[in-house]
Structures are given as structure tokens and as C-alpha cells.
């Protein structure tokens, strides 16, 4: 088990990529704090883990990642319950958007920046301080997006926040290296989570066509990569963005080519 005895905080761990990563981590031997706004749903994941036979491996704490004190409390919960912290996965986020000129800043800018950008900053800061104080090093993994590298429809604020996550990752790797801390970001493409699955079949088909396998990525596939990045097997991956987008970023659109 590649994560045996490691302790992790996973924000947004009650659903989607976060939930899949919680399940992957415990199967790989880790102890996990699920830090999520939706405490009943997070406790449901705890019950799910218990039912799988991993009793005592997971606990939940209600966490609003846009509030620094909440993120500090999630880190403290890991230390209180499991004795230390080895990994934080800054995964919590929201999506959505509208055309820029239709924005109400208090609705279409502030909440997304507070969660998708500030929440990652708070996770890096809280975990980085804990790693420094422990003197044991650690790993910081943050969820960015392919949108952090390109312009897209209805994504002005989302793209900005996800680009900031990439910048945070580079800077954190640079500043925290002396404490034995690695920082890595992941950039998913189209993942079959509740955010996307709410759309029409036609739109989901379009999303799937944007990736090379012609299907949306499963949350469990992202979790597999996150577990690897959290492990000692990826010690040379630091300060960079790992694309988990099934080729989304390498091409624009498939064309029906004419005969020559």
C-alpha cells in the first residue's frame, strides 16, 4: 500500500473527485480527514468507508475553505485524530459562469475566487505551516483545471482562479522546498461529476468528444493519479502541473477531413 500510515486532509471530500480520492487513499493505507461544507454528506462517506472495512481510517469536519480558520481547523483535526499531517489535497471548488459583461461581481466573481482561489491559498498556508512545525516534510496537491491555461466560454472568473492555483503551486514548491515539502497541481479536463452530469446528454456528448478517448474521465481515474502524486514514488514531481485531461489540451476539435 503506497500510502500506508500517511495522514491526509482532502477538501471537498464528500463528493466527486474528492470522494473518489478518499476511497482510493484509504485503500492505499492512508488516514483521511474529509473537510467539506456538507457535513452530513461527508459523514456519509465516513460510513461508506467504515462499511468497506476501514474502521477508524476516516473522520469528517465541516469546512468552508473560503474561511482560513476553518482550513486551519481541518489541519488541526488531522493532527488531533491521527497525530500528524502528510498530505493535503486542495480539491474543493465550484464552477459555473456567465458572459463577462453580464457579471454581478458579488455573485459571479467573489464567491468563486473565495473558494477556488483563496481556498487553495489557505490550504497551502495551513498545511505548509504544519509541515514546517512537524519537521517531517509533506505533499501539497491542488486541483486546477485545463481552463487555467486557456480562455473558454462562460469561464472568466473560473479560469482566473484555476490559473492562480498553478502559480500558487510553483511558488509553494519554491518557498517550501527547504522544509521538505512538495507542491503539485493537477489539471483535469471533462470529469463525470455531478457538476457535469446535470447537463443534457447532447452537451455531455460534446464534452466527451473534446477528449481523446471520446469519453468523460471518471473521478476514480483522477484519484489514481492523486494517490500516486501523494506517494513517495513521485518524489521528483514538484512545482509543476500534471495534466489529467485525456488529451483535452493537445487539440482543438476533430474535423471531418475532405478527400484529397
Q: Known catalytic residues?
A: 158
Which residues are CB-neighbours of 38 under 8 A, at least 6 positions away?
A: 14, 15
Cβ–Cβ < 8 Å for 47, 39: no
Which cell is 13 given? 471530500
Place of cell 469546512: 63
Which residues are CB-neighbours of 53 under 8 A, at least 6 positions away?
A: none
Which residues are CB-neighbours of 125 under 8 A, at least 6 positions away?
A: 68, 71
Cα(35)–Cα(12) distance, integer angstroms: 6
| DSSP codes joined into one string, 131-161 | HHHHTS-EEEEEE--GGGGS--TT-HHHHHH
Which residues are CB-neighbours of 165 under 8 A, at least 6 positions away?
A: 90, 116, 117, 120, 142, 143, 144, 148, 185
* Torsion from C-alpha of 164, 106, 88, 138, nearest 10 degrees: 50
Cα(26)–Cα(23) distance, integer angstroms: 5
Cβ–Cβ < 8 Å for 131, 180: yes
Amino acid at each position: 500500500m503506497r500510502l500506508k500510515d500517511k495522514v491526509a486532509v482532502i477538501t471537498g471530500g464528500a463528493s466527486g473527485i474528492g470522494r473518489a480520492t478518499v476511497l482510493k487513499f484509504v485503500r492505499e493505507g492512508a488516514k483521511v480527514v474529509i473537510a467539506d461544507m456538507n457535513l452530513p454528506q461527508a459523514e456519509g462517506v465516513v460510513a461508506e468507508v467504515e462499511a468497506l472495512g476501514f474502521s477508524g481510517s476516516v473522520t469528517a469536519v465541516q469546512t468552508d475553505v473560503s474561511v482560513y480558520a476553518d482550513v486551519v481547523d481541518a489541519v488541526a483535526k488531522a493532527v488531533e485524530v491521527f497525530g500528524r499531517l502528510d498530505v493535503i489535497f486542495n480539491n474543493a471548488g465550484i464552477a459555473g459562469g456567465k458572459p463577462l459583461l453580464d457579471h454581478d461581481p458579488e455573485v459571479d466573481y467573489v464567491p468563486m475566487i473565495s473558494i477556488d482561489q483563496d481556498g487553495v491559498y489557505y490550504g497551502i498556508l495551513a498545511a505548509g505551516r504544519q509541515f514546517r512545525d512537524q519537521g517531517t516534510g509533506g505533499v501539497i496537491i491542488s486541483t486546477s483545471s485545463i481552463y487555467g491555461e486557456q480562455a473558454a466560454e462562460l469561464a472568466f472568473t473560473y479560469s482566473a482562479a484555476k490559473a492562480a492555483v498553478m502559480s500558487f503551486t510553483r511558488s509553494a514548491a519554491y518557498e517550501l522546498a527547504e522544509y521538505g515539502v512538495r507542491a503539485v497541481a493537477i489539471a483535469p479536463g471533462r470529469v463525470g461529476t455531478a457538476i457535469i452530469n446535470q447537463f443534457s446528454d447532447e452537451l455531455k456528448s460534446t464534452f466527451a468528444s473534446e477528449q481523446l478517448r471520446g469519453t468523460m474521465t471518471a473521478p476514480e481515474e483522477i484519484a489514481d493519479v492523486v494517490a500516486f502524486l501523494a506517494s513517495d514514488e513521485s518524489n521528483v514531481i514538484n512545482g509543476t502541473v500534471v495534466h489529467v485531461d485525456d488529451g483535452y489540451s493537445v487539440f482543438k476539435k476533430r474535423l471531418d477531413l475532405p478527400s484529397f
